[in-house]
Chain A
């Protein structure tokens, strides 16, 4: 490490207590590195962010940036992720990151990508947004980006409502879920409409790769991010991220909730290339949707006694899950190491040399 770097590091240390390691000294100064600085993985999203306890979105963003590595530029729509990672004057990001508006993450990413291309750089661009910013308000920018064939990966963190402004329904909110703008009552049992089938719309842009993933299957997330980044052209990833605050589940059970969404068939994990289904995560043991609904307050009214609509809506959601399984061919025939039971199997990893 040269003197200039050392001074800079000292300055940062004094100011922020635990700065990230200096980028070109991974080995030189072992002694002064903290354990955090020596983690054997790239830290794209650092601790100290202000997400809720057990936030699925924070986890997903951490996984995406870890998989992407340092040579990326991120753009972010307004929303929880933007707000909790960048409480001014701090930032939890350790890669270049940009925010402008709620609706224009894809548009900004398009510009950044064009600039990189003009400069002859290979730095990858990832545009990010919540489901509100993607399914609804940022949709035209996204559609344009896909249509113009920009070399950008768009990641939508799907927590199925506008969480940052207090849990309003979005185009992604599932049918019958309670939000502040789709309260259950005399007229309705939560959201009246269906969850928008965004993936099909994206796929209709004929892009090289679009996929859905879930925080319950981190290795699958990593693989899909790397796959997408290895492709030249527009790619899209929809990641299911339970929100303890908005869904009303215990933050300790975020993964359990996410896993059940996959195991029930309510959130199918699929891959599409040029609009055709090229891969799915098969479901080994389909779980009844009530296992999933029962963990979340947003579906509490579906368990109301003495309300015939509760059962009807439960059956409706079960029918949707069964439909997904049929349409995408999710029913496993035989055990597969990469199916819903196999994909998260753990082994002892040999850390010690």
Chain B
């Protein structure tokens, strides 16, 4: 035994015998929040998690995390309106992270390198079977997630090829078909049974499917045009926008027109407007009751077009008439010669609900030789009449479960409240999760447990302002029916863009807590700690000062009352 005498010496590091942790009234704990980009992604992607891997330059791992939610990043990276970027905390600091460009980069890298989709749970021979109607993004996503979760999916598709609107309607200038083919081929190769040319209601029926399979997921999209007229009038040669687009995608033909009025404000409206403009129409007017993004427009009143597409459309010469509606068609016999427009806006009524109010005295006339309705479609009920019960759309719960229908789910555009590829992907994923929970484990599915973190909980002192990466775009005069308009980022841009991410609500492994703790009470580990970080608190010594929580750039440390 060493005997210590007062005034002489003490052995090194012996203060460790004194547990300063007893002074603590609050303790720091790691808290993993949902990053806003994650909370905002309809497909359910955790961009924070995969951007973290981009920062580590582990691109394949980044892609694997990404595709654990969304199997088609090369597609969504091109066409998604990226609500994740609207949610991104970096947007209130300088500019949001270019998430969709990074997503596209990873999707393309996966195709180029033929990275294998991870399948965590191989299906047993006795695995439950799922019939999926429709090979659009929602059906494909459902099938993909069934495979990942150990279910056996079969897709029934009316058309000869898979893809839904991705193939039949979205212009090639936005989604090159070789990219679509490559991504879908890789997904189907995972073992999805695919039955093309099988139309529900014509070649198969729902009752049979429900008997032959343990569950059925309906993802037929919206195939039926809605009735359209203006004050009862309809031109003789009427064709709706989606129909014209599909024909153009199919064989390149478009009606020969000079002055076009498009009625509606969605992607279909903008896409057909641009196609017609490119094919020589002198004037293309887009009349929409919604507003353009800007301070004068309420968020729920902005027209539903991918922001970049709106910009490019205007650049190409599409003339926008926001907050306007058609009041009357000017006809010579059954032939259109013009339209009368009126200004209107969505305003609160006496009951408090918002309704569109037109303003008398704002009527004006536009010359036009064609009017093209783009007002959306409804589910074609054929083969599903009993389930739809006369309504335009399915109304399932968030997991896609239809009330009163055992093991029958629906999602994607057919819900009526979705309308994007990423939402369709998300619906397919949720349906597969709900089915796996029920059919394999006999339990209820679990929802997202984490709260989104807002920018006030981050410590922005540790970041610097920087500019967002910008992808090259084709100049207007070089745009054709086929060449892709938006290009890819270079790896150097991807890497710099990844660096900008705040890592909201999750550990950045920045070492701040480890560096700043005056008490050496934050320990760093080479192994991953149970919470996924590389840091542990040594509560024997942590005095609970809260400094680490203040200085954590990512809001990942929270002070909580000391448990009794």
Contact = CB atoms under 8 A, between A and B. Distances in A.
Interface stretch (A183-191, A253-261, A273-281, A307-315): A253-261
A346 B508 contact: yes
A291 to B, nearest CB: 12
Contact of A255 (B56, B463, B519, B547): B547
Interface in B509-527: 509-512, 515-521, 523-526
A253 B550 contact: yes
Contact of A254 (B19, B56, B541, B547): B547
B520 A43 contact: yes
Contacts of B116: none
Interface string A146-183: 00000000000000000000000000000000000000
Contacts of A43: 13, 520
Contact of A46 (B55, B516, B520): B520
Contacts of A51: 518-519
Contacts of A248: none
Interface string A42-58: 01011111110111101
Interface residues of A, number: 63
B6 interface: yes
Contacts of A18: 16-17
B523 A35 contact: yes
A347 B499 contact: yes
B12 A95 contact: yes
A46 B517 CA distance: 11
B543 A53 contact: yes
Interface in A17-66: 17-20, 35-36, 38-40, 43, 45-51, 53-56, 58-59, 62-63
A46 B15 contact: yes
A53 B511 contact: no
A347 B544 contact: no
A91 B12 contact: yes
B23 interface: yes
B438 to A, nearest CB: 37
Nearest to B15: A48
A53 B503 CA distance: 28
Interface string B529-555: 000001010101101111101110100
A78 interface: no
Interface string A242-267: 00100000111111100100000000
Contacts of A347: 55, 499, 508, 510
B4 interface: yes
A251 B547 contact: yes
Query: Most chain-A Cβ atoms within 10 A of its Cβ — which of B15, B462, B503?
Result: B15
B60 interface: no
Given A47-B538, A89-B10, A259-B461, A252 B15 contact: no
Contacts of B511: 346, 349
A57 to B, nearest CB: 8
B11 interface: yes
Contact of B550 (A16, A40, A252): A252
A232 interface: no
B491 interface: no
A342 B546 CA distance: 24
B509 A351 contact: yes
B6 to A, nearest CB: 6
A47 B521 contact: yes
B464 interface: yes
Given A55-B518, A89-B10, A50 B512 contact: no
A85 interface: yes
A306 interface: no
A195 B419 CA distance: 66
Contacts of B519: 47, 49, 51, 58
B523 A90 contact: no
Contacts of B510: 346-349
Contact of A352 (B526, B538, B545, B553): B526
A92 B13 contact: yes
A242 to B, nearest CB: 10
Contacts of B4: 88-89
A156 B19 CA distance: 28
A75 to B, nearest CB: 14
Interface string B221-239: 0000000000000000000
B14 interface: yes
A208 interface: no
B546 A20 contact: no
A93 interface: yes
A151 B335 CA distance: 99
A36 B514 CA distance: 12
A93 B56 contact: no
A255 B459 CA distance: 12
Given A48-B17, A259-B461, A344-B462, A20 B516 contact: no
B255 to A, nearest CB: 54
Contact of B547 (A12, A35, A252): A252
B257 interface: no
Given A62-B518, A344-B462, A347-B499, A251 B545 contact: yes
A345 interface: yes
A164 B4 CA distance: 25
Interface in A184-236: 218
A113 to B, nearest CB: 20
A117 interface: no
A3 B252 CA distance: 86
Interface string B1-44: 11010100111111111111001000000000000000000000
Q: Which 5 A-B pairs have the closest CB atoms?
A: A252-B546, A48-B15, A53-B545, A346-B510, A54-B545
10 contacts: A46-B520, A47-B15, A47-B519, A47-B521, A53-B545, A62-B520, A88-B4, A254-B518, A347-B508, A348-B52
Given A16-B13, A53-B544, A254-B518, 11 more contacts: A50-B15, A59-B517, A88-B6, A90-B14, A91-B11, A94-B13, A95-B12, A244-B545, A254-B545, A346-B463, A348-B510
